[in-house]
Amino acid sequence: MNSDSEKNYNFRTDLADERRDLYRKANHIENEVEGIEAEEEQIDEKIKVTRVKITNEQGERAIGKVRGSYITIDIKKINLLTEEEQEKACSTLANELKRLVGEKIQFKEDVLVVGLGNEEVTPDALGPNVIKEVEVTRHIINYLPQYIDENARPVSAIAPGVLGTTGIETLEIIKGVVEHTKPKLLIVIDALASRSMERISSTIQISNTGIVPGAGVGNTRKELTEATLGIPVIAIGIPTVVETAVVVNDALDIFIEKLQQEAKSNDYLNRLKAEDNYEQIKEALLPKEFNFIVTPKEIDELILNMSSVVAKGINMSL
């Protein structure tokens, strides 16, 4: 497999974690991929942290992501967390975030939090929902400093809306705000596409590389990165939708696996399973207008729970 085919591989996931797994599976790599470092930490029964670092060009090419840190926090059954478990999820996020922020800016330097997405579309409302719960302090520090701890960090927050409802590129809005309010770091919250339904609104990816809004579902907008904005950008991404072809591809594997267990499979099916059939499935579904982007029935509650975890995590870390 040469690098060209690697580049063209469609991971249909924005999670570095999943891409690394896919790459290793596709290339039958048992050990770690060159240019990628990874470690896992099981925080408790329900929370797991995976830290993936891409260290060189080879790693970049392998999984199609730029050099940097990609931290994935998986929370099992986020809908059913006890108050204590939720607190744990928030503090886990806060710790990872604090570390990444601390690598980029000084204590007390100004942070702008940006919540991407469309409030009117449930699976896309996570960003704007988080913004509503972020504790903003910049205006108090500017106008009423006597009412706030003198060590408070100036925090501001904005939900810029989406191109479809504003007619304006997100980058155009954020660039203007950054120029006029001069934060030292951006935290951007975005909804992602994932490969797996059970990660919907249950997984958080934090990275220090910025993001390209909407990359996961096929819309390329202009990226929000240090290159385009002039300040470091930390991205918090949460999967909220999957593509039907992805679901079918994975379900097909599970189905063939069962046929194998029941000794009902055959060579052809075994080969089907060994390969990744996403592209063919997609090609089959597309002309029938069958390749919907879907989300679980419970998405309202999942988004509500996750918004709260992310907002509290941000508030604790800043």
158 in contact with its own copies (CB under 8 A): yes
180 in contact with its own copies (CB under 8 A): yes
Site for its own copies in 246-265 (CB under 8 A): 247-248, 250-252, 254-255, 257-259
Which strands sit side by side in the sheet containing 185-193, from one edge to the other?
36-42, 47-54, 68-75, 203-207, 233-243, 185-193, 111-115, 155-158
Task: Count CB neighbours of 158 within 10 A.
Answer: 17
Separation between Cα atoms, residue 266 and residue 281, nearest integer Å:
20
Min separation Cβ 253 and its own copies, Å: 9
Min separation Cβ 66 and its own copies, Å: 25
Min separation Cβ 102 and its own copies, Å: 21
* Residue nearer to its own copies on the CB measure, 7 or 264: 264
Site for its own copies in 14-73 (CB under 8 A): none
Site for its own copies in 222-241 (CB under 8 A): 241
* Residue nearer to its own copies on the CB measure, 85 or 124: 124
Query: Exposed, middle or buried: residue 147 (CB in 10 Å: 0-12, 13-18, 19+)?
Result: exposed
Are the C-beta atoms of residues 153 and 111 closer than 8 Å to each other?
Answer: yes
97 in contact with its own copies (CB under 8 A): no
170-175 — which CB contacts under 8 Å span 24+ positions? 170/116, 170/213, 170/221, 170/222, 170/224, 171/221, 171/222, 171/223, 171/224, 171/228, 171/229, 174/114, 174/224, 174/229, 175/228, 175/229
Are the C-beta atoms of residues 85 and 305 closer than 8 Å to each other?
Answer: no
218 in contact with its own copies (CB under 8 A): no
Nearest Cα neighbor of 204 from 116, 75, 65 is 75
Tokens of 135: 């504790």
Site for its own copies in 118-157 (CB under 8 A): 120-124, 131-132, 136-140, 154-157
199 in contact with its own copies (CB under 8 A): no
* Residue nearer to its own copies on the CB measure, 29 or 286: 286
Min separation Cβ 53 and its own copies, Å: 30
Query: Contact with its own copies (CB under 8 A): which of 92, 295, 305, 317?
Result: 295
277 in contact with its own copies (CB under 8 A): yes
179 in contact with its own copies (CB under 8 A): yes
- The torsion angles phi and psi of 104, rounded to 5 degrees, stand at -105, -40
197 in contact with its own copies (CB under 8 A): yes
Query: Which helix (H) or strand (E) element contains residue 242?
Result: strand 233-243
244 in contact with its own copies (CB under 8 A): yes
* Residue nearer to its own copies on the CB measure, 109 or 300: 300
